[in-house]
Amino acid sequence: MGRVNDRKIALVTGANKGIGFAVAHGLGALGNTVAVGARDDARRDEAVERLRASGADAFGVALDVTSDESVAAAAATIARTAGRLDVLVNNAGIAGRTDGGAQDPTTLDLDVLRTVLDTNVFGVVRVTNAMLPLLRRADAPRVVNVSSNMGSLTLRTGPVMAAYAPSKSMLNSITAQYARRLADTHVIVNACCPGYVATDFTGFAAPRTPEQGAAIAIRLATLPDDGPRGGFFDDEGVVPW
């Protein structure tokens, strides 16, 4: 396993496409070994092949963030393959069902809320806690939670999205709690907003490329030891909570 021990190991959830793939690609280009977390076998294999073809060191990790069993198995795979984890990018996320491009709070189906929270919030807690023992073994562990400025209670951007936006508000809040809990450790935890990015998520009708969206997550994944903790950032700097 000398091959991986020389390099940092970075797990990206939802890495088979969109911003997650671009984060994986960017971290691979920086010399990290990338663990491609994805729930679909074929999509994961294809992403690993594309990353390897670009020169990155990558391997696939079966990972459905809504499943305790899948997440535990993913942690076991990384423990076996690498023995530690240097970077975790919690990128996997869903918008949830919309009606006319919005989620109206006055008619919200609670199952939509549950589904969105299960991926965007519980998924992050599930994955982070499963990976923390591996992160603690690294010299300079970094955790990045891919959030959204739609979760900013100050900005209140975008359409009314009564499941998605609060899921990102809660993700921001949980990021702050992780940072507080881990303040005396070398584990640095932050949240980021990628901006409005052309992916499946937005029907590819958005101005930014996945590479542009990935940049802030990559920056937070490679922070120096004196970098910020428990913050919310985009390309421009601090995003208001």
Nearer to ligand NDP among residue 116 and residue 134 (C-beta): 116
Enumerate residues 188-227 that contact ligand NDP by CB under 6 A.
193-194, 196-197, 199-202, 206
Q: Examine the residue annotation and report whether 196 is marked as an active-site residue of this protein.
A: no
Contact assessment for residue 62 and residue 121, using Cβ atoms and an 8 Å cutoff: no
- The size of the interface with ligand NDP (CB under 6 A), counted in residues, is 31
Of the listed pieces 48-56, 57-65, 103-111, 228-236, which binds ligand NDP according to CB under 6 A?
57-65
CB of 44 to ligand NDP, least distance (A): 8
Which residue from 26, 93, 141, 166 is in contact with ligand NDP, where contact means CB under 6 A? 93
Helix (H, G, I), strand (E, B) or coil at 142: strand
Q: Which tokens go with 92?
A: 């996997």
Contact (Cβ atoms closer than 8 angstroms) between residue 34 and residue 44: no
Task: Identify the CA nearest to 233 among candidates 146, 155, 120, 143.
Answer: 146
Q: C-alpha 29: how far from its chain's center?
A: 18
Coil vs helix vs strand at 161:
strand
Q: Which of 21, 59, 164, 232 is catalytic?
A: 164
Among 52, 66, 83, 136, binds ligand NDP (CB under 6 A): 66
Q: Which residues contact 106 (CB under 8 A, 6 or more apart)?
A: none
Residue 50's CB is within 10 A of a number of other CB atoms, namely 16
Q: Does 48 contact ligand NDP by CB under 6 A?
A: no
Note the residues at the interface with ligand NDP (CB under 6 A): 13-14, 16-20, 38-40, 43, 63-66, 91-94, 119, 146, 148, 193-194, 196-197, 199-202, 206
Which positions are catalytic? 164
